[in-house]
Amino acid sequence: MKKKSNKIQRIRGFALALVFIGMGIMYLGVFFREYQIIFSLFLIVGLLPILLSFVIYFWVGMISTRTVTVQCPNCEKYTKILGHVDFCQHCKEPLTIDKELEGKDFSLDYNVDHRRNEAIEEIKKESAENNQTK
């Protein structure tokens, strides 16, 4: 099941979860403290997700500079959009920076370049056909 949420918030949440997973693994090592090797193994394995979360936090900081800040038409607050479609940070309204996709059914497919181009092509074709029948 896909949760509706802003991408940057989701990545941050994932990084936070990794910290807790790492701490959990390290904590489990305490039960094996009589066995030096297993204990240190738990510490090392527990350290990996924590390190990974630092990398993710760093990466979020980098991609944050590439986000587009827009005013949400629904709640009128400012929100950061990552990629071509994203959810509002405040009211979870799906937002897009592509004019062609405005008012269309929201799909995360639009974050994939070739799928988005396909969708835009289809929309253009549809509206061309509609114009012909008029």
Residue listed under structure tokens 């986000």: 67
Q: State the Cα–Cα distance between residues 6 and 68, nearest whole angstrom.
A: 13
The whole-angstrom separation of Cα 90 and Cα 78 is 9
Cβ proximity to Zn ion: between 4 and 115 the closer is 4
Q: Which stretch binds Zn ion (CB under 5 A): 2-10, 90-98, 99-107, 109-117?
A: 90-98
Residue count of the chain, please give it. Answer: 134
Which of 5, 90, 98, 107 is the binder for Zn ion (CB under 5 A)?
90
- DSSP 3-state of 61: helix
* Among 40, 64, 91, 121, contact with Zn ion (rule: CB under 5 A): 91
Q: Does 84 bind Zn ion (CB under 5 A)?
A: no
Q: Of 83, 102, 86, which Cα lies nearest the Cα of 94?
A: 86
**In 10 A of CB 86, how many CB atoms?**
27
Tell me, by CB under 5 A, how many residues bind Zn ion.
7
Query: Which tokens is 42 given?
Result: 């738990």
Per-residue mark of binding to Zn ion, 36-75 (x: CB under 5 A): ------------------------------------x-xx
The answer to whether residue 100 forms part of the interface with Zn ion (CB under 5 A) is no
Contact flag: residue 88 with Zn ion (CB under 5 A): yes
**Shortest Å distance, C-beta 82 to Zn ion:** 15
- Give strand pairing partners of 87: 94
Q: Which residues bind Zn ion (CB under 5 A)?
A: 72, 74-75, 88, 90-91, 93
